[in-house]
Homo-oligomer: A and B are copies of this chain.
């Protein structure tokens, strides 16, 4: 059985749970408690030298790290339903939306970064929140500008089936809500995220539905 090493609130693990659910795959979950530092333990470092989650361990013991690499792997090995469109340009545009979240927003608001701001730089709670909201606003403003004008957006970020872009958007919206970011300027993102959340694959992947939720 495939095993996902993750954490209920990890936005990157959340992406992989959505992808696994969309593909209809069964998987075991092993929680790695990021708040308690379990990701820095020897067992986890052996499978993920970055000390991060998620890691997907396959039946034969092979390990795949990095959430987007895991999603692309799943899409290549289990092609249906597809997480990327067929056309190369459309695939690139979906990947660019996913990377807008995964390379420009989420890395800046990761737990380890917030800890560095407070611990090493002595940033206070207000400035930490402002930092968090700033990067959400930067990324979501660009994503809203793209999705509200691109004729290829539909019920989802691209057309009427969920793709890698939605897989990244929904966990990022969840995070933004948790940090009480004002999302009123992003009606298209809100509409798409709300639609995604009507699907069982997204519902089953939500942080509050995980065995380690607290």
Contact = CB atoms under 8 A, between A and B. Distances in A.
Interface of A: 49-52, 58, 62, 64-66, 68-70, 72-73, 76-77, 88-89, 91-93, 95-96, 99-100, 102-104, 106-108, 113, 116-117, 120-121, 123, 127, 130-131, 134, 138-139, 141-143, 145-146
User: What DSSP secondary structure best describes chain A's contact surface?
Assistant: helix
Contact of A104 (B50, B104, B138): B50
Given A65-B96, A66-B96, A76-B91, 5 more contacts: A58-B89, A69-B93, A72-B95, A120-B127, A121-B127
A119 to B, nearest CB: 11
Contacts of A89: 58, 62, 64, 73
A87 to B, nearest CB: 10
6 contacts: A50-B142, A58-B89, A69-B93, A76-B91, A103-B103, A121-B127
A72 B92 contact: yes
Contact of A146 (B49, B77, B88, B142): B49
Contacts of A121: 117, 121, 123, 127, 131
Nearest to A64: B92
A145 B66 contact: no
Contacts of A123: 121
B49 A69 contact: no
A103 B92 contact: no
Contacts of A69: 92-93, 95-96, 99
A193 B66 CA distance: 22
B49 A142 contact: yes
A161 to B, nearest CB: 19
A108 B127 CA distance: 17
A27 to B, nearest CB: 16
Contacts of A70: 92
Contact of A108 (B72, B107, B134): B107
Contact of A73 (B91, B117, B120): B91
